[in-house]
Structure 1
Amino acid sequence: MIGGPVDSPLRLLPGLLLSPIVTGNEFAASVDRHELLEITTSVATEAAELVSHRRREGVQVAATKSSLVDVVTAADIEAEHFIREELAKLRPEDGFFGEESDASPSRSGITWVVDPIDGTVNYLYGSPNYAVSIAAVVGDPSARPTAFEALAGAVVAPDLGKTYAAVKDGGAFVNGQRIQLGEGPSSLAQTLVASGFSYSPERRVLQAQAWLGMADKVRDLRRVGAASLDLCAVAEGQVDVYYEIGLKPWDWAAGVLVARESGARVGGKHLSEREGQSILTAGHPGVIAPFIDLLLEVAPPKLLASGKNTKS
């Protein structure tokens, strides 16, 4: 489970992992979470304004990572640098763990987990479905297996006009309004499912096979292209379940807290953790367990064991 008390993760298959397992501690309880939330939201909003402005000027691809379609824009790099500098001014003893630059250790017990542009390909293509994602956590997000607890998080989608925010045990919000899951679907047949696809062509084929296997068993399938926004969509009730394989902490640290604080169940029975692989599920409490059963039934075994060192 992620971002709160452990949801009884159980061993299922060798090599299958739920990312991450969270451990609580007295330090987390002593931190001013609302101060962290204020910083998180403020810095994420400023960074979102920056990347939105840069897109209007014209997007420049600066590099590729895991494949030719896994791109980094100049705005990704600039935004992460901006976020890092702003956080260092406000909380110089904190650690930093971002997608586009080297990590720095924490001397305060707090680390900032940052994705400067989640949904970079959407950003490149002019889609509004991208966001700046920042979370303040306790623990070490770089450890394997991952073990940290998110205390505050913000996901800011400037071209959607939405700011999602959450504080541990304090609720989830969109544009300042509290969000709480309502009554969910009564069966898998009424469940709207979201997921993401890997940058690896080989893994995309396996993911498509999983989609095909569940297509006649759920209401419909959705693909947005930004994990943080998928998780926030769960929180708002825009989709009932989200799952993805092979994510990194910066992809979900803030979004998972938003989903959990809205009342969504993150993780669930059957899932466990092992170094280097990850499966993330989030959804309405009434359908998440049967959905996990369905996923494990239809997903190719090679896909379930393929999360190592891969970002979707």
Structure 2
Amino acid sequence: MTSQQLLDINARYASAKALALEAAQLGMDFYRKREALTIEHKGDDLQDVVSIADKQIEAFIRERLTQLFPEDGFLGEESGSADLGARCVWVIDPIDGTACFVNGLHNWCVSIGLLIDGEPHLGAIADPNHNELFHGCLGKGAFVNDAPLKVSAATHVGQGVTATGTFHPRGKEHFIPFMEKLLAEGGMFFRNGSGALMTAYVAAGRLLGYYETELKSWDCMAGLVLVKEAGGRVNDFFRNDGLLLGNPYLVACPGVYSQLAEMIGPSLDD
């Protein structure tokens, strides 16, 4: 890698962190007046909601990234995709955890991830409710604020807490069987409504792992980099056009990844 390429990546990394923090503060402004927000439902799923805050924050991030890096592609939860064939593609969730956001729960964040040559390369997840910025870059480590992240050293699901959930119609039938196996092994489950934050918590060693029957790429793109840089394992999320369609999702510390994957079964790789 040339020094020019390093400088280019460093500029994108710095911009991702700064933009995530700025967008998160914009989100807090909306959050404080959430009772006045216009809320819409996506399709027939009453739990899948979007607010004017989501749309305006994504527009803000997209405009800023276009100004800074006009040659880059973009994929956002609310505004769709552009130039996905570009070498660098930003994958954005302006408010991950919108249902929490609109209901006054402090479990939401801004997630900004970057693919380079089709691989997750850097990410920033800003949680303004807890003053935490999770961030990482391939080969440079992962951090919460300035503290390095490291996954748990646990070797059994009974030694900590595992995040799990199901949301989209595809894969719901796999959720209860997984839960039964997790509880039978002495594990405990957790869910806070934000896939990005739960992924970051795996990287931080707060959670042993996180399994979702189906997740979208904007919910996990930034976090995948953090988990890898913190020493964790991830499943093959990008198979079968996972970038656009989503897939079953598992991230975990090395000591419990295989145990969780066995509990999930073949559906993890469907």
For residue 17 of structure 2, what is the aligned residue in structure 1?
A: 41
Q: Would the alpha carbon gap of residues 89 and 101 (structure 1) be closer, same or farther in structure 2, given more than 3 Å must change?
A: same
- Mapped pair 1:263 → 2:239: no
Counterpart Cα distance in 2 of 1:158 and 1:93? 30
Shift of 1:36: 1.2
- Mapped pair 1:173 → 2:149: no
**For 1:166, what is the secondary structure of its paired residue?**
strand
RMSD of aligned residue pairs (Cα, Å)? 2.6
- Mapped pair 1:55 → 2:55: no
For residue 15 of structure 1, what is the aligned residue in structure 2?
A: none
For residue 223 of structure 1, what is the aligned residue in structure 2?
A: 191
For residue 162 of structure 2, what is the aligned residue in structure 1?
A: 193
One-letter amino acid matched to 1:265: R
**C-alpha offsets along residues 175-215 of structure 1, whole Å, 9 cap, x if unaligned?**
12222235x22323324211122154x96565234313321
- Return 101-110 or 87-96, whichever deviates more: 101-110
Counterpart Cα distance in 1 of 2:15 and 2:207? 29
Counterpart Cα distance in 2 of 1:75 and 1:82? 10
Contact in 1 for aligned 2:182/2:188 (Cα 8 Å): no
For residue 252 of structure 2, what is the aligned residue in structure 1?
A: 283
For residue 88 of structure 1, what is the aligned residue in structure 2?
A: 66
**For 1:160, what is the secondary structure of its paired residue?**
coil
- Return 37-46 or 184-193, whichever deviates more: 184-193
Contact in 2 for aligned 1:113/1:134 (Cα 8 Å): yes
Ranges in structure 2 where 5+ consecutive residues have no aligned partner: none
Q: Would the alpha carbon gap of residues 151 and 158 (structure 1) be closer, same or farther in structure 2, given more than 3 Å must change?
A: same
Q: Would the alpha carbon gap of residues 49 and 123 (structure 1) be closer, same or farther in structure 2, given more than 3 Å must change?
A: same
One-letter amino acid matched to 2:253: H
Which of 99, 103, 106 in structure 2 is aligned with 1:128? 106
Counterpart Cα distance in 2 of 1:255 and 1:35? 19
- Mapped pair 1:295 → 2:264: yes
**For 1:218, what is the secondary structure of its paired residue?**
coil
Counterpart Cα distance in 2 of 1:306 and 1:149? 19
For residue 126 of structure 2, what is the aligned residue in structure 1?
A: 156
**For 2:175, what is the secondary structure of its paired residue?**
helix
For residue 113 of structure 1, what is the aligned residue in structure 2?
A: 91
Shift of 1:95: 1.1
Contact in 1 for aligned 2:216/2:246 (Cα 8 Å): no
**For 2:39, what is the secondary structure of its paired residue?**
strand
One-letter amino acid matched to 2:247: S
Contact in 2 for aligned 1:214/1:295 (Cα 8 Å): no
**C-alpha offsets along residues 230-276 of structure 1, whole Å, 9 cap, x if unaligned?**
111111111111111221111110011111111111127xx994355
Shift of 1:224: 1.3
Contact in 2 for aligned 1:155/1:254 (Cα 8 Å): yes
Instruction: Point out 4+ residue stretches in structure 1 off by more than 4 angstroms.
Output: 202-206
Q: Which one has more relative contact order, counting CA pairs under 8 Å at least 6 apart? A: 1
- Mapped pair 1:274 → 2:203: no
- Mapped pair 1:252 → 2:229: no
Counterpart Cα distance in 2 of 1:277 and 1:79? 22
One-letter amino acid matched to 2:121: L
Higher helix share: 2
TM-score calculated relative to the size of structure 2: 0.88
**C-alpha offsets along residues 11-60 of structure 1, whole Å, 9 cap, x if unaligned?**
xxxxxxxxxxxxxxx79x94532221100011111110001111102242
Counterpart Cα distance in 1 of 2:177 and 2:202? 23
Counterpart Cα distance in 1 of 2:21 and 2:31? 15
One-letter amino acid matched to 2:258: A
**For 1:213, what is the secondary structure of its paired residue?**
helix
Shift of 1:68: 1.8
Counting only pairs closer than 5 Å after superposition, residues 201-240 of structure 1 correspond to structure 2 as 204=172, 206-240=174-208
**C-alpha offsets along residues 73-109 of structure 1, whole Å, 9 cap, x if unaligned?**
1100010000011111111121110000031106852
Contact in 2 for aligned 1:152/1:254 (Cα 8 Å): yes
Shift of 1:295: 1.9
**For 2:10, what is the secondary structure of its paired residue?**
helix
Q: Would the alpha carbon gap of residues 277 and 256 (structure 1) be closer, same or farther in structure 2, given more than 3 Å must change?
A: closer
**For 1:133, what is the secondary structure of its paired residue?**
strand
One-letter amino acid matched to 2:234: V
